Amino acid sequence: MPRLEYWYEFASTYSYVSTMRIGALAGAAGVEIVWRPFLLGPIFAAQGWTNSPFNLYPAKGRYMWRDMERLCADERLPLKRPAKFPQNTLLAARTALTLAQPERAAFSRAAFHAEFADGADLADPAVVNALIGGLGLDIPMVTARAGSPDIKAALKTQTDQAATLGIFGSPSFVAADGELFWGNDRLEQALQWARRG
């Protein structure tokens, strides 16, 4: 089965939409998705941004939230703007990395839903613990692994690899031949590319 890597930052609004769409679309296309969470912060910092571009550039930020409202209405996805944006997603990304693919996808969907449908803060360990518990996983075990040096190193490697692949935003999709697609708007095109091989 052809594969497509799905690269996402938990703080990204448009990644909420693609996270909720990718399962059904990939299933219909016969493409296996490899879920690869990373941190956008270090990539933004390397180009001089210490905040989300949606906060740095207010006109762009106002537009993004309105665009998200229209997009979520079209996709019948609930949207609640979190009090804090962007969120510190270190804990969520590390937690996702402790999980094997099927659980990682389920955790990621639950985390994005908590953040953008319920307005919860993923930086709050209680929120993340509730997500882990909701998936029937062992909270102390997952939490311990998420804080381990191995997982910290794995997330750093993951983020370095994102930069090496040319990734500069989230969501991004990378096909087996290295072809890069950026943005929820390119999900269908990326799946089609992956399917063609």
Q: Which of residues 25, 77, 117, 180 is near its own copies by CB under 8 A?
A: 180
Long-range contacts of 48-56 (CB under 8 A, 24+ apart): 51/86, 52/11, 52/85, 52/86, 54/13, 54/85, 54/86, 55/85, 55/86
Q: Which amino acid is at 30?
A: G
Contact between 80 and its own copies per CB under 8 A: no
Q: What single-letter DSSP state applies at residue 136?
A: T
Residue 21 vs 113, nearer CB to its own copies: 21
Tokens found for residue 160: 């370095």
Shortest distance (Å) from residue 23 CB to its own copies: 22
Tell the smallest beta-carbon distance from residue 110 to its own copies (Å). Answer: 28
Give the burial string for 79-114 (b: 16+ CB within 10 Å, else e): beebeebbbbbbbbbbbbbbbeeebbbbbbbbbbbb
Q: How far is the CB of 162 from its own copies (least distance, A)?
A: 10
Site string for its own copies, 10-49 (x = CB under 8 A): -------------------------------------x--
Q: Between 49 and 68, how does the x/- string for binding to its own copies read (CB under 8 A)?
A: -------xx-xx-xx--xx-
Instruction: Answer yes or no whether residue 168 interacts with its own copies by CB under 8 A.
Output: yes
